[in-house]
């Protein structure tokens, strides 16, 4: 029996929408929620999303679907929510993991690059959270949101230079706190998980191809190594569960101690 199965299948009867769910942290979050009994919908722009949904359904015996959508497009997100409601049920849990990264000196970053990072990471978070909350309010029901921010919201991690990414994730944490206060009276609980360095497709190029930078990252992590997507997913699943009913507006850092130094 897995750790998730020992959690008493606390998400049974729940439908969860996970953006960026085709791979990486988003996929790990969807799989963790499925292991705890939830039906899951993976919202992503990647063509691999359907195969990811099939794998989750086969591994965990739940219903899982993929919906192709752009988190920066309100019409696309609204259509995706409607499709999830039709194919599964209206989602009562939202995990917003879709995002992008940019490593670029601030002196060289173009406005187009800056705008794209802010639009995907920050505006996309607002668009998806707003659409989800509107649907829950229209249904007269509450819900739970867990956004994926980053430790980069509060520190400048080095040696890479990523001012646009850092600013976007600081915005996500600020947005989460604001939405949490505004929506708590509506029965919609909002929190975030802020990962440190995690072995994903976005970081694998450094971890496998840039030994000097990878060593610099690890040297600053008290736990001794980068995390795994499942480390983040465990925290997300807990925040999304009824066990966290009194946790509101928090940004939980999962970084192996990096920001404690």
- Lay out the sheet containing 15-19: strands in order across: 64-68, 39-44, 15-19, 93-96, 143-148, 188-195, 251-254
Cα(191)–Cα(239) distance, integer angstroms: 7
Which token pair is 12? 């049974």
Report phi then psi at 233, rounded to 5: -60, -35
**Whole-model pTM?**
0.95
Check residue 161 and report its DSSP letter. -
Which top CATH class is 10-254?
Answer: alpha beta
Report phi then psi at 252, rounded to 5: -85, 120
- Radius of gyration of the CA atoms of the chain, in A: 17
Cα(19)–Cα(23) distance, integer angstroms: 10
Q: Which residue in the list 165, 197, 246, 258 is annotated as catalytic?
A: 165
> How far, CA to CA in Å, does 87 sit from each of 15, 36, 39, 83, 132?
11, 20, 11, 6, 16
Q: Give the domain ranges of the chain.
A: 10-254
Q: Please say if 165 is a catalytic residue.
A: yes
With CA atoms as reference, report the closest residue to 55 among 71, 70, 66: 66
Going residue by residue through the chain, which has 261 residues, state the pLDDT in tens, using 9 for 90 and above: 444 444 568 999 999 999 999 999 999 999 999 999 999 999 999 999 999 999 999 999 999 999 999 999 999 999 999 999 999 999 999 999 999 999 999 999 999 999 999 999 999 999 999 999 999 999 999 999 999 999 999 999 999 999 999 999 999 999 999 999 999 999 999 999 999 999 998 888 889 989 999 999 999 999 999 999 999 999 999 999 999 999 999 999 999 999 998
């Amino acid at each position: 029996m897995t750790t998730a199965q020992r959690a008493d299948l606390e998400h049974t009867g729940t439908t969860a929408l996970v953006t960026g769910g085709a791979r990486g942290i988003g996929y790990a979050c969807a799989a963790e929620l499925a292991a705890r009994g939830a039906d899951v919908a993976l919202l992503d722009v990647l063509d691999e999303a359907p195969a990811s949904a099939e794998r989750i359904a086969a591994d965990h015996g739940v219903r899982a679907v993929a919906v192709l959508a752009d988190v920066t497009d309100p019409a696309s997100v609204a259509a995706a929510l409607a499709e999830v409601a039709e194919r599964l049920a209206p989602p009562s849990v939202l995990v917003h993991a879709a995002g992008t990264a940019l490593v670029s000196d601030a002196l060289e970053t173009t406005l187009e690059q800056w705008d794209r990072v802010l639009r995907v990471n920050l505006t996309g978070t607002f668009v998806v959270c707003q659409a989800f909350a509107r649907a829950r309010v229209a249904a007269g029901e509450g819900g739970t949101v867990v956004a994926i921010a980053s430790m980069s919201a509060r520190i400048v991690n080095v040696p890479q230079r990523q001012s646009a990414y850092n600013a976007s994730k600081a915005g996500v944490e600020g947005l989460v706190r604001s939405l949490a206060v505004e929506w708590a009276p509506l029965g919609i609980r909002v929190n975030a998980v802020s990962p440190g360095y995690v072995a994903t497709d976005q970081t694998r190029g450094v971890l496998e191809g840039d030994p000097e930078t990878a060593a610099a990252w690890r040297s600053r992590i008290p736990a001794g190594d980068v995390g795994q997507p499942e480390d983040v997913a465990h925290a997300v699943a807990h925040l999304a569960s009824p066990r966290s009913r009194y946790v509101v507006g928090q940004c939980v850092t999962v970084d192996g101690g990096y920001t404690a130094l």
